[in-house]
Structure 1
């Protein structure tokens, strides 16, 4: 029987994933249907005896140094620098030591740490990818939660950095894409800074991406801070529509963070509460999408013809209001797709029902902020004029955070 802490963690992870991947709102009695909306494809809550190693069916441990970034640590095997704490956490520890005369690119190694990945054990292609962690602090510390494309041929195979923190920026984390022509310091990304001078090392935070075809959205504690699509790459190749594996590591030193100095206290720890990957596939038959005034996204007149307007209407449980949110980026009802009319990208472009074509005007991302976004336009599904009357047409509009752009699936 699972421990109460493990059950609590699983429930929190499931709720968080549901809120983000499927924009599920208040708890409902229809638990079976809601559970089907969010499918867990990978989960580790790091339950186990204190001092034990990570689950080898999920993770492999990398060893050695890293000359590419001029990092200073030696990554050790087993549970020496990566171990469970007996309280449902993985603890990756960086130490100033060299117990086995490890040799690094710069000579005798000065530090040890750990790096784990799921290569050969698990890959993801789309979904909600998250980890709840507490980062270390201090000059030279460089914790990261990230993914590499398979087969690895960096940078052409791609890299998705979900969270990186460098010790000289205690209040800021970064999310970045690397690929052909935009790698290293040329990566495409942004930072997220906590308010009021808070440090990420002071508490646990949840770092996530919502990943769909031609779209990746980053969030911290459910707060979306950037979205990237092929349009951000200036004509360079988007290499993120394929499988990637997960990586957790704590580096010491390197080009970006700089080396530790006299102010850096060792040991330092990256504490990981859970890692999960979920998809947003709805159950057979679909589920309602509720919005402004508790009303539903509705196909006008339940008419499956191409070009039928999609509108707001009282929820009635009919097939015209049962939508399937797919990991392929589509949102479907009556056998057809939610479509931006005329492939429009301007504010006010209406949405309709249309044969599924695989086009970018039929791809959508449900974010942690409960927006439904068309990545091509980088705009939100919107109730025209903030009007909650039956029959109000739906459109896309620049994302404002308004109630007429907030949606609940299920």
Structure 2
């Protein structure tokens, strides 16, 4: 959705889109359930929003942030995304309502001139990311020509590596001219734009998705992503579907809910389209992933700051992704050099590389650095109930040089004592 759709449907052109849609319909629309079981056992629930709150109140600012603007997202979309409760609010009945409206009372400017429509786009980019697990939402989609609701995810490193290298998972997309069909897609390097990995699911009996609530989900493991509607599996993708091409689904993603109006794929609203149109969301829930063999601890990957003594952040010096870059304490700034992904017991990553003990040393005082991930014991870390981070290979704790707490203090292995310089708050 959003900017990826620009590349998806403008690079390939409308002819390829129509051909792909026809082929997809022939392959998938007449199929019954492929399977209804989970692709992998899931762990504990790690995040949810049940949208409980007074009617007219804004979505939780702790969980969602509104993206604003009328750039068209590269797709020639017509709406201006606002942060107004006129476009995204709770209904007092346990639902989030995203409303697309015709008109422009606030005088917003869009890429084509004065905006004709407003809507909302909510993301967890700055509040929650996770790698692997189950991601689901129960949604009643809007209807009408030119209306484009979506529930989707983007790799959190998009600002650093760009699209589609970051990866994209479209859990559900629907366009108004296909009221009985939803699409599930993956976009990555070499299979994006007009040629993603994609399939569709069609309701039987001529029913429309806008007639009621349906549950859309993906089960995401390190080796597969599987799409479901109402518990029915209709698509499963693995790296074997893109031989020789990257599979960028190995790091945290964030979630997005939005309703676009117009665009190259759905086309513009016409005289049959009625406004306002509403996407009603009953819940969004996320669970951790745990493999079926019981290996691993089932903990979800979480991304954010690691803070230590004095509230200082664990930081990659100079925000450099080069091997052997020192790891230090630094005043928290929120930049990518301080966004760490923690996988329970295992590696801790930032800037695409791992927190590493220099030279694989087990000695007290061994310096901590950034290094390409290699799965060795020098890159394994175990959080404890005492808020320490233990390197199992050495049996020592992550600490600061000379018990320091100032900007630029290096991190090192230390004999575990439980002192303040060894206490860490994880995402």
**Shared fold per TM-score greater than 0.5:** yes
Counterpart for residue 47 of structure 2: 42
Which of 277, 280, 290 aligns to 1:268? It is: 277
| Distance (Å, rounded) in 2 between the aligned partners of 1:124 and 1:143 | 23
| Distance (Å, rounded) in 2 between the aligned partners of 1:22 and 1:227 | 12
For structure 1, the residue ranges without an aligned partner over 5 or more in a row are 1-18, 24-36, 283-288, 290-321, 330-357, 359-410
Which of 56, 61, 64 aligns to 1:59? It is: 64
Which of 63, 82, 90 aligns to 2:88? It is: 82
Change in CA separation of 1:226 and 1:328 when aligned onto 2, cut-off 3 Å: farther
> Displacement, 1:185?
1.6
Counterpart for residue 155 of structure 1: 164
The reply on whether 1:216 has 2:225 as its aligned counterpart is yes
Instruction: Report 1:284-303 matches (<5 A).
Output: none
Q: Secondary structure at the match of 1:175?
A: strand
| Distance (Å, rounded) in 1 between the aligned partners of 2:142 and 2:99 | 9
Query: After superposition, what is the alpha-carbon deviation per residue over 1:210-265, rounded to whole angstroms, capped at 9, x for unaligned?
Result: 00002100000000001001111142111011110000000000010000000000
Query: After superposition, what is the alpha-carbon deviation per residue over 1:244-299, rounded to whole angstroms, capped at 9, x for unaligned?
Result: 000000000001000000000000000000001102449xxxxxx9xxxxxxxxxx
Counterpart for residue 176 of structure 1: 185
Q: Secondary structure at the match of 1:231?
A: helix
Which of 245, 248, 253 aligns to 2:257? It is: 248
CA contact (8 A) 1:127 1:327 kept: no
> Displacement, 1:55?
0.4
For structure 2, the residue ranges without an aligned partner over 5 or more in a row are 1-36, 301-374, 376-427
Q: Secondary structure at the match of 2:194?
A: helix
The reply on whether 1:226 has 2:235 as its aligned counterpart is yes
| Distance (Å, rounded) in 1 between the aligned partners of 2:190 and 2:298 | 28
Counterpart for residue 11 of structure 2: none
TM-score normalized by structure 1? 0.61
| Distance (Å, rounded) in 1 between the aligned partners of 2:257 and 2:192 | 19
The reply on whether 1:203 has 2:212 as its aligned counterpart is yes
Counterpart for residue 137 of structure 2: 131
CA contact (8 A) 1:280 1:325 kept: no
CA contact (8 A) 2:99 2:119 kept: yes
> Displacement, 1:186?
1.3
CA RMSD of superposed structures (Å): 2.2
